């Protein structure tokens, strides 16, 4: 009997030991780093659109590429997707995914749009009070999907995505993740420039609901402008999407390493993906003039370009000449300059509608019209001349402002 009891005890102890060994890997797995990837929009919410493409498709393609690389390279990272298909989710549902999984990092991928086809480049947002109207506009557009929901007023506690006043809440908000979010955003922007040769529009702050509701370091990436024809080609190409995903992956590698170090984990040994050197052209083709963003333009200034290094646009089919199309100057009528952020309905516009603006030297420069045809824009200038006698025509090549005279010389 005693022997039997002893045996039974040994049996019990072994079970406990076995249990510990079985449980241990489970616990280790639970302690994995979790990243939530959010492809903005989806389903009946297409996001920004152009004649040929929809934001929701670009966002999803980049997210799926990004997730695949992380899953392949990091065995200790759990990748959670808010959506892997063309599905609609509310902003709150996206934030719920982050919080339910106790995520360590949240990456939202979006595509930008501007009334001006000249705007292009990538920017990364963290949560905060928008310091410029341009940043606020992006948050307002991205938050406006809230309006697709029934009884959004109760669900979002009176937050009206279209009312400037609603955004005051972000001024008084404490975000304990802000430092890490900004740190990650900066690395992403650096990677966009070095890996994808994107124009750097900088790290910005604005009141995004989806970031606000997520309890971890969070960023919202605007990978480029669907409204810029050259950039749209890049954003919708397999190569462009792959490159953007790789750039964010490289930023993730750096971020994760710092995170491991701080949290006392073993630092990950995963290394960044280097850009494959471009194969030498068999025939000596003349190198096309290219535009590149300066390393660090001040946020909200017009992105300046220098003529060095690799192209901003994706390699095109040989029979196309996108660089030339991209460089066709877009003319606009500059109405006036103001330090204030004016609403489009402001009486300052004296009834002129469809106005736009760009920011230069910290001032908002309000414009109307945008066309590559000088004559059309000159016609607009004449139409508004009785209201704005000092209005004059300016031109943009990409995001670079030049005089109308310079622009005309270019097109001759």
Q: Summarize as ranges the residues that interact with Zn ion (CB under 5 A).
A: 40, 47, 110, 142
β-partners of residue 371 are 331
Let me know the angle formed at the C-alpha of 222 by 218 and 226, rounded to the nearest 5 degrees.
160
Q: Which is nearer to Zn ion, 126 or 367 (CB)?
A: 126
Q: Which is nearer to Zn ion, 221 or 251 (CB)?
A: 221
For the residues of 283-312, what is the DSSP string, one character each? S-PPPPP--EE-S-PPTTSPPPEES-SS-S
Q: Which is nearer to Zn ion, 210 or 377 (CB)?
A: 210
CA–CA distances in Å: residue 295 to residues 190, 192, 304: 8, 11, 10
- Strand, coil or helix: 396: strand
- To Zn ion, the closest distance from the beta carbon of 286 in angstroms equals 38
Q: Which is nearer to Zn ion, 94 or 110 (CB)?
A: 110
Q: Which is nearer to Zn ion, 107 or 352 (CB)?
A: 107
- To Zn ion, the closest distance from the beta carbon of 109 in angstroms equals 9
Tokens of 168: 């005051």
- To Zn ion, the closest distance from the beta carbon of 55 in angstroms equals 5
- Strand, coil or helix: 373: coil
Q: Which residue's CB atom is positioned nearest to Zn ion?
A: 110
Q: Which is nearer to Zn ion, 141 or 257 (CB)?
A: 141
- To Zn ion, the closest distance from the beta carbon of 58 in angstroms equals 10
Q: What are the phi and psi torsion angles at 351 (to 5°)?
A: 85, -5
CA distance 274 to 4: 65
Tokens of 43: 């389903």
Q: Which is nearer to Zn ion, 46 or 299 (CB)?
A: 46
CA end-to-end span of the chain: 106
Place of tokens 């109308």: 404
Place of tokens 């040769």: 197
Q: Which is nearer to Zn ion, 94 or 256 (CB)?
A: 94
Strand 200-206 and strand 122-127: pairing? parallel
- Of 112, 157, 179, which is closest to residue 139 (Cα–Cα)? 112
CA distance 214 to 210: 7
- To Zn ion, the closest distance from the beta carbon of 359 in angstroms equals 21
Helical spans, DSSP H, in 101-177: 133-143, 152-155
- To Zn ion, the closest distance from the beta carbon of 36 in angstroms equals 16
CA distance 369 to 364: 16
CA distance 394 to 245: 36
- To Zn ion, the closest distance from the beta carbon of 133 in angstroms equals 18
- To Zn ion, the closest distance from the beta carbon of 80 in angstroms equals 20
Residue 341's CB is within 10 A of a number of other CB atoms, namely: 16
Q: Which is nearer to Zn ion, 94 or 365 (CB)?
A: 94
- To Zn ion, the closest distance from the beta carbon of 371 in angstroms equals 26
């Amino acid at each position: 009997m005693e022997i039997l009891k002893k045996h039974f005890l040994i049996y019990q102890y072994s079970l406990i030991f076995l249990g510990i060994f079985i449980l241990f890997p489970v616990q280790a797995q639970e302690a994995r780093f979790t990243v939530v990837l959010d492809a903005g929009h989806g389903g009946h919410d297409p996001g920004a659109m152009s004649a040929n493409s929809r934001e929701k498709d670009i966002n999803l393609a980049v997210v799926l590429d990004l997730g695949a690389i992380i899953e392949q390279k990091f065995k200790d990272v759990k990748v959670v997707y808010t959506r892997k298909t063309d599905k609609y989710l509310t902003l709150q549902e996206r934030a719920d995914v982050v919080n339910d999984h106790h995520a360590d990092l949240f990456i939202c991928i979006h595509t930008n749009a501007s009334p001006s086809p000249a705007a292009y480049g990538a920017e990364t947002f963290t949560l905060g009070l928008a310091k410029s109207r341009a940043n606020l506009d992006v948050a307002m557009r991205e938050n406006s999907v809230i309006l697709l929901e029934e009884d959004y007023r109760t669900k979002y506690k009176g937050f009206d995505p279209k009312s400037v006043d609603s955004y005051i809440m972000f001024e008084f908000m404490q975000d304990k993740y802000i430092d890490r979010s900004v740190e990650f955003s900066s690395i992403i922007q650096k990677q966009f420039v070095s890996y994808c040769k994107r124009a750097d529009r900088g790290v910005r702050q604005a009141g995004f609901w989806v970031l606000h509701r997520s309890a971890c370091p969070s960023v919202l990436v605007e990978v480029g402008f669907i409204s810029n024809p050259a950039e749209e080609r890049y954003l919708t190409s397999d190569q462009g999407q792959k490159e953007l995903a790789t750039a964010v992956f490289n930023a993730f590698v750096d971020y994760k390493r710092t995170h491991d170090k701080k949290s006392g984990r073993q630092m990950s040994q995963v290394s960044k993906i280097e850009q494959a050197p471009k194969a030498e052209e068999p025939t000596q083709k003349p190198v096309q003039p290219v535009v590149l963003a300066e390393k660090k333009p001040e946020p909200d200034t017009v992105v300046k370009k220098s003529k060095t290094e690799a192209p901003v646009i994706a390699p095109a089919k040989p029979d196309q000449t996108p660089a030339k199309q991209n460089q066709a100057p877009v003319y606009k009528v500059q109405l006036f300059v103001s330090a204030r952020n004016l609403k489009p309905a402001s009486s300052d516009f004296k009834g002129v509608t469809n106005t736009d603006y760009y920011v230069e030297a910290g001032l908002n420069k309000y414009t109307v019209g945008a066309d590559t045809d000088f004559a059309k824009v000159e016609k607009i200038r004449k139409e508004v001349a009785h209201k704005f006698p000092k209005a004059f025509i300016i031109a943009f090549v990409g995001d670079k402002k030049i005089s109308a005279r310079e622009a005309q010389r270019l097109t001759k």
